[in-house]
Amino acid sequence: MQYYYSLDGNQRQGPVSLEQLRAAGVGPETTVWREGMADWSAAKDVPELSGLFAPPMTTGAPPVRVQYQTPTSQQGTNGLAITSLVVGIVGLVLTPCISFLAIAPAILAIIFGHVSRGQIRRGQGTGAGSALAGLILGYVTTGLLLLFVVFFVFLSFLSPRSTIFAPATPSQPSVPATVPVMPKFPQPKPFPTTFPSR
Protein backbone atom coordinates (compact mmCIF):
# COMPACT_ATOMS: atom_id res chain seq x y z
CA MET A 1 0.00 0.00 0.00
CA GLN A 2 1.33 3.44 -0.95
CA TYR A 3 1.13 6.49 1.36
CA TYR A 4 1.52 10.20 0.85
CA TYR A 5 2.64 12.40 3.73
CA SER A 6 3.32 16.03 4.59
CA LEU A 7 5.81 16.88 7.31
CA ASP A 8 5.19 20.63 7.33
CA GLY A 9 1.56 20.65 6.24
CA ASN A 10 2.35 22.24 2.82
CA GLN A 11 4.73 20.06 0.83
CA ARG A 12 3.34 16.64 0.03
CA GLN A 13 5.61 13.69 -0.60
CA GLY A 14 5.01 10.18 -1.82
CA PRO A 15 4.00 7.67 -2.75
CA VAL A 16 6.06 5.62 -0.23
CA SER A 17 5.71 2.22 1.34
CA LEU A 18 5.13 1.64 5.04
CA GLU A 19 8.85 0.98 5.60
CA GLN A 20 9.82 4.17 3.77
CA LEU A 21 7.24 6.08 5.79
CA ARG A 22 8.83 4.81 8.98
CA ALA A 23 12.32 5.77 7.70
CA ALA A 24 11.14 9.28 6.72
CA GLY A 25 10.59 10.17 10.37
CA VAL A 26 6.81 10.46 10.27
CA GLY A 27 5.38 11.35 13.68
CA PRO A 28 1.91 10.82 15.15
CA GLU A 29 0.81 14.34 14.15
CA THR A 30 2.11 14.11 10.55
CA THR A 31 -0.72 14.25 8.01
CA VAL A 32 -0.96 11.22 5.72
CA TRP A 33 -3.22 10.00 2.90
CA ARG A 34 -3.68 6.81 0.97
CA GLU A 35 -6.01 5.63 -1.67
CA GLY A 36 -9.39 4.88 -0.12
CA MET A 37 -9.23 7.67 2.52
CA ALA A 38 -11.69 10.53 2.24
CA ASP A 39 -9.25 13.21 3.45
CA TRP A 40 -5.82 13.78 4.94
CA SER A 41 -5.56 12.59 8.57
CA ALA A 42 -3.01 12.56 11.36
CA ALA A 43 -0.91 9.41 11.21
CA LYS A 44 -2.02 8.39 14.70
CA ASP A 45 -5.65 8.20 13.49
CA VAL A 46 -4.91 5.74 10.67
CA PRO A 47 -5.42 2.22 12.06
CA GLU A 48 -2.66 0.50 10.09
CA LEU A 49 -0.13 3.15 11.15
CA SER A 50 -0.87 2.90 14.90
CA GLY A 51 1.86 0.29 15.34
CA LEU A 52 4.33 2.75 13.84
CA PHE A 53 4.13 4.97 16.96
CA ALA A 54 3.68 2.33 19.64
CA PRO A 55 6.53 2.02 22.13
CA PRO A 56 8.98 -0.72 21.19
CA MET A 57 8.21 -4.10 22.63
CA THR A 58 10.79 -5.62 24.90
CA THR A 59 11.51 -9.30 24.81
CA GLY A 60 12.19 -9.66 28.52
CA ALA A 61 11.16 -8.06 31.75
CA PRO A 62 12.46 -4.55 32.30
CA PRO A 63 15.63 -4.40 34.36
CA VAL A 64 15.01 -3.94 38.04
CA ARG A 65 17.06 -1.25 39.72
CA VAL A 66 17.93 -2.24 43.25
CA GLN A 67 18.90 0.55 45.58
CA TYR A 68 20.70 -0.49 48.72
CA GLN A 69 20.35 1.65 51.76
CA THR A 70 22.39 1.49 54.87
CA PRO A 71 20.28 0.26 57.75
CA THR A 72 19.25 3.02 60.08
CA SER A 73 19.20 2.21 63.72
CA GLN A 74 15.95 2.91 65.51
CA GLN A 75 17.25 1.79 68.89
CA GLY A 76 18.01 5.25 70.26
CA THR A 77 21.02 6.25 72.30
CA ASN A 78 23.31 3.45 73.47
CA GLY A 79 22.91 2.85 77.21
CA LEU A 80 26.60 2.24 77.85
CA ALA A 81 27.45 5.59 76.22
CA ILE A 82 25.20 7.41 78.67
CA THR A 83 26.57 5.34 81.56
CA SER A 84 30.14 6.19 80.54
CA LEU A 85 29.32 9.90 80.50
CA VAL A 86 27.55 9.86 83.88
CA VAL A 87 30.23 7.77 85.60
CA GLY A 88 32.94 10.00 84.11
CA ILE A 89 31.26 13.10 85.54
CA VAL A 90 30.93 11.44 88.96
CA GLY A 91 34.61 10.49 88.93
CA LEU A 92 35.69 14.01 88.01
CA VAL A 93 33.53 15.54 90.76
CA LEU A 94 34.90 13.11 93.37
CA THR A 95 38.56 13.70 92.42
CA PRO A 96 39.18 16.89 94.44
CA CYS A 97 36.96 15.80 97.34
CA ILE A 98 37.59 12.12 97.97
CA SER A 99 40.33 11.09 95.57
CA PHE A 100 40.50 7.40 96.44
CA LEU A 101 36.76 7.00 95.65
CA ALA A 102 37.24 8.49 92.16
CA ILE A 103 39.37 5.55 90.98
CA ALA A 104 36.45 3.19 90.36
CA PRO A 105 34.28 5.65 88.38
CA ALA A 106 37.26 6.68 86.24
CA ILE A 107 38.06 3.08 85.30
CA LEU A 108 34.37 2.27 84.64
CA ALA A 109 33.99 5.36 82.42
CA ILE A 110 36.92 4.22 80.30
CA ILE A 111 35.64 0.64 79.99
CA PHE A 112 32.04 1.63 79.21
CA GLY A 113 33.22 4.28 76.73
CA HIS A 114 35.28 1.82 74.69
CA VAL A 115 32.58 -0.86 74.71
CA SER A 116 29.81 1.56 73.69
CA ARG A 117 31.90 3.05 70.86
CA GLY A 118 32.38 -0.47 69.48
CA GLN A 119 28.65 -1.16 69.67
CA ILE A 120 27.80 2.13 67.97
CA ARG A 121 30.19 1.34 65.11
CA ARG A 122 28.30 -1.93 64.61
CA GLY A 123 24.99 -0.04 64.42
CA GLN A 124 23.71 -0.79 67.91
CA GLY A 125 22.28 2.61 68.76
CA THR A 126 23.61 6.14 68.65
CA GLY A 127 25.46 8.35 71.12
CA ALA A 128 29.06 8.39 69.90
CA GLY A 129 29.49 11.87 71.40
CA SER A 130 28.41 10.72 74.85
CA ALA A 131 30.75 7.74 74.69
CA LEU A 132 33.66 9.96 73.63
CA ALA A 133 32.91 12.46 76.41
CA GLY A 134 32.81 9.63 78.97
CA LEU A 135 36.16 8.34 77.70
CA ILE A 136 37.74 11.78 77.94
CA LEU A 137 36.40 12.32 81.47
CA GLY A 138 37.66 8.90 82.53
CA TYR A 139 41.16 9.54 81.20
CA VAL A 140 41.28 13.07 82.66
CA THR A 141 40.20 11.77 86.08
CA THR A 142 42.82 9.01 85.93
CA GLY A 143 45.49 11.55 84.99
CA LEU A 144 44.52 13.85 87.86
CA LEU A 145 44.62 10.96 90.32
CA LEU A 146 48.12 10.01 89.15
CA LEU A 147 49.22 13.63 89.53
CA PHE A 148 47.85 13.71 93.08
CA VAL A 149 49.72 10.52 93.96
CA VAL A 150 53.00 11.85 92.54
CA PHE A 151 52.49 15.18 94.32
CA PHE A 152 51.85 13.59 97.72
CA VAL A 153 54.78 11.21 97.38
CA PHE A 154 57.02 14.16 96.52
CA LEU A 155 55.72 16.09 99.53
CA SER A 156 56.38 13.16 101.84
CA PHE A 157 60.04 13.20 100.78
CA LEU A 158 60.29 16.91 101.56
CA SER A 159 58.72 16.72 105.02
CA PRO A 160 61.04 17.43 108.03
CA ARG A 161 60.49 13.94 109.41
CA SER A 162 62.02 12.43 106.31
CA THR A 163 65.69 11.49 106.65
CA ILE A 164 66.32 11.10 102.94
CA PHE A 165 67.17 14.76 102.36
CA ALA A 166 68.17 15.62 105.96
CA PRO A 167 71.66 17.18 106.33
CA ALA A 168 74.30 14.76 107.51
CA THR A 169 75.59 15.28 111.09
CA PRO A 170 79.30 14.93 111.76
CA SER A 171 80.16 11.60 113.23
CA GLN A 172 81.18 11.66 116.91
CA PRO A 173 83.37 9.12 118.62
CA SER A 174 81.38 6.43 120.19
CA VAL A 175 81.33 6.61 123.96
CA PRO A 176 80.54 3.46 125.84
CA ALA A 177 77.32 3.80 127.62
CA THR A 178 77.68 3.88 131.39
CA VAL A 179 75.02 2.36 133.52
CA PRO A 180 74.31 4.44 136.58
CA VAL A 181 74.95 2.64 139.83
CA MET A 182 72.09 2.66 142.25
CA PRO A 183 72.94 3.49 145.88
CA LYS A 184 72.61 0.67 148.37
CA PHE A 185 69.69 0.78 150.63
CA PRO A 186 70.41 0.54 154.36
CA GLN A 187 69.86 -2.90 155.77
CA PRO A 188 66.86 -3.08 158.05
CA LYS A 189 67.55 -3.84 161.68
CA PRO A 190 66.43 -7.26 162.83
CA PHE A 191 63.53 -7.49 165.18
CA PRO A 192 64.48 -8.25 168.76
CA THR A 193 63.65 -11.74 169.76
CA THR A 194 63.37 -10.89 173.49
CA PHE A 195 61.32 -8.15 174.96
CA PRO A 196 62.35 -6.24 178.06
CA SER A 197 60.29 -7.15 181.08
CA ARG A 198 58.41 -4.55 183.22
Q: Contact at 8 Å (CB) between 110 and 142?
A: yes
pLDDT tens by residue, 128-165 = 999 999 999 999 999 999 998 898 888 888 876 655 55
* Residue ranges, the chain, pLDDT below 50: 73
